[in-house]
């Protein structure tokens, strides 16, 4: 049953990692390379994320400078950014693309916090579902006589402890993101 606990921890860790990954794509008032990771550009017969086809630099926390390795991709990168939901218009000199990250309005900050909260709730639900599934396995094992009542209760406590731990990690990540969004 210890491998089941390791499996539970691995699944919960994966859910937490996915949640943090999704949070990183929520735009704050600060420039970040993560903003461009989900924007795919048609090039070389495939779709590739901007950081895989260009050097991206953050300038003074308010601007992203994109320097494609192949200058023929400048127009394609511009189009991909314009089509994205970033809401930022790129400017280009033919060799580099600049994205000035505008400060967030109060209304937009509230919307982003709602989005982050929704993602956090989905992550909490995923953690609880992992708990439910493993407890079902343990109940079945108990009914079949594979584990004793005491073992079941001990495993249940350990799973609940892991659940509480990962839900707390989600809450902490959410609070950090909210602070980032609200920061001037």
Q: For position 98, what pLDDT does the model report?
A: 94
Residue 50's CB: how many other CB atoms inside 10 A?
24
Alpha-carbon span 113 to 86, nearest angstrom: 16
pLDDT, residue 24, reads 84
- Count CB atoms within 10 A of the CB of residue 85: 8
**Alpha-carbon dihedral sign for residues 61, 175, 12, 165:** positive
Sequence-ordered alpha helix ranges (H) in the chain: 2-24, 74-83, 106-143, 149-182
The pLDDT, as a whole number, for residue 34 is 83
Instruction: Delimit the domains of the chain by residue range.
Output: 2-25+105-182, 33-100
pLDDT value of residue 3? 66
Return averaged pLDDT per consecutive 10 residues of the chain, 184 residues in all: 83 96 81 86 90 92 91 92 84 92 86 94 98 94 92 94 98 95 82
Secondary structure of 93-133 as H, E, C letters: CCCCEEEECCCCCHHHHHHHHHHHHHHHHHHHHHHHHHHHH
CATH for 2-25+105-182? 1.10.132.20
pTM of the predicted model, to two decimals? Answer: 0.74
- 33-100: which CATH number, 3.40.50.11030, 3.40.50.150, 3.30.1360.40, 3.30.470.10? 3.30.1360.40
> Beta partners for 137?
none
* Rounded distance between C-alpha atoms, residue 32 and residue 53, angstroms: 16
| Tokens describing residue 116 | 């982050």
Residue 91 C-alpha from the chain's centroid:
27
């Amino acid at each position: 049953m210890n491998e089941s606990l390791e499996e539970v921890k691995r699944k919960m860790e994966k859910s937490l990692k996915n949640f943090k990954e999704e949070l990183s794509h929520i735009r704050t008032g600060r420039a970040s390379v993560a903003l461009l990771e989900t924007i795919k550009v048609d090039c070389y017969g495939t779709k590739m994320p901007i950081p895989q086809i260009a050097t991206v630099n953050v300038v003074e926390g308010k601007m992203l400078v994109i320097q494609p390795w192949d200058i023929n991709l400048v127009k394609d990168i511009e189009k991909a950014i314009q089509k994205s939901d970033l809401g930022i218009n790129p400017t280009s000199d033919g060799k580099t693309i600049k994205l000035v990250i505008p400060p967030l309005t109060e209304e937009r900050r509230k919307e982003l916090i709602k989005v982050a909260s929704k993602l956090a709730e989905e992550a909490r639900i995923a953690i609880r579902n992992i708990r439910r599934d493993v407890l079902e396995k343990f109940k079945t094992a108990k009914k079949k006589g594979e584990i004793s009542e005491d073992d079941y209760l001990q495993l249940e406590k350990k799973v609940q402890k892991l659940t509480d731990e990962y839900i707390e990690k989600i809450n902490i990540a959410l609070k950090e993101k909210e602070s980032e969004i609200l920061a001037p």
